[in-house]
Amino acid sequence: MDPQNLTGTIQFLLLQFSEEAALEPFLFGLFLSMYLITVLGNLLLIVAVISDPRLHTPMYFFLSNLSFVDICFTSNTIPKMLYNIQTQSKAISYEGCLTQMYFSIFLAGLDNSLLTVMAYDRYVAICHPLHYTVIMNPRLCVLLVLACWGVSSLHSLMHSLMVLRLSFCSNLEIPHFLCELNEVVHLACSDTFLNDVVIYSSAGVLGGGPLTGILYSYSKIISSIRRISSSQGKYKAFSTCVSHLSVVCLFYGTGLCVYLSSASTQKSQSIAVSSVMYTVVTPMLNPFIYSLRNKDIKGALRILTGKNMMKAKSSEV
């Protein structure tokens, strides 16, 4: 018997992490804590950048945009996962799954694009320091961010429209806690060849392209740093890139783990754990990486917390 097309009335099942009900309270508390840390950490970083005039520079403008995207990235998946754990449900509607998938692709692409723009900013700052303020003017910075949003939006829209043409039948179990594009496509009961071509082609262009740009920027940065005569000058130049380089390694490293685990194993728990690193852990660690290794950020946070403490004391008097 041919499978019946159920598209429009179907629900996907997010397998999440564990079949054991005893672990659900622990998982709920763990991911709620991680979500709150992610939101508060990135929000505090944004407020620090906005409130301190010394941080009104291209580097921190891009950083605040990255923090905003990280808040949205986790908010797209974690609240739904917490709701499903609390209600002991694995279901997500067809429309809800497509919406979550659209924003996951959009925000991941936006993260990738912003990291590339930040690498270009570091390249100009170190390789062309005398022309930095002229090249990285406010107009160019805004245009670069708008370009990131535009390209990521079109990329996500393309994949979403490609999924809409597919028909779905039964066996709609996704071994993730979110609707991941590749998993959703391969649950379809219609031909997915064109979708696969688009997925791999866009991954090569919009994934490999930015990574190539980042590697090229850092190859030029390293060459410039090596030409600096004093060791103190080399350290100062490289220290401005350490935080960004750490975030890049974390972003691409965890993203690579997700796709390698998806390709090498069909165990839902292994794939879900790898996805946590990419979608939850990375956005949570980003503000800590930048604040712990950046004197300007730490100074702005001290000023910000000092002002809040003074306001609290004055309200008590």
* Cβ-based neighbours of 119, under 8 Å, separated by 6 or more: 213, 214, 217, 218, 244, 248
Give the pLDDT of residue 158.
95
User: Per residue in 174-194, pLDDT tens?
Assistant: 877 888 898 899 889 888 999
Q: How many CA atoms lie within 13 A of 297 on its CB side?
A: 22
Average pLDDT of the residues of the chain: 84
User: What type of residue is 42?
Assistant: N
**Mind listing the pLDDT tens digit for each residue in 217-261?**
999 999 999 888 888 878 888 888 888 888 898 888 877 766 665
pTM over 0.85: yes
Give the single-character DSSP code of 7.
Answer: T
In 10 A of CB 219, how many CB atoms? 11
Cα 50 from Cα 67, distance rounded (Å):
12
- Could you say which of 3.40.190.10, 1.20.1440.120, 3.30.230.70, 1.20.1070.10 is the CATH number of the domain covering 11-316? 1.20.1070.10
Say what the pLDDT of residue 112 is. Answer: 93
CA-to-CA dists, residue 32 to 36, 74, 99, 214, 280, angstroms? 6, 11, 22, 33, 11
Asked if 201 contacts 100 with a C-beta cutoff of 8 angstroms, the reply is no
Task: Give the SS3 label for residue 12.
Answer: strand
Which residue, 178, 180, 185, is CA-closest to 75? Answer: 178
CA-to-CA distance for 90 and 175, rounded, in angstroms? 11
* Geometric angle at alpha carbon 85, from 82 and 90, rounded to 5°: 110
The Cα 123–Cα 148 span in angstroms is 18
Q: Which two tokens stand for residue 140?
A: 């160019």
* C-alpha separations of 105 from 29, 61, 127 in Å: 27, 23, 33
Instruction: Examine the pLDDT at 110 and tell me if it is beyond 60.
Output: yes
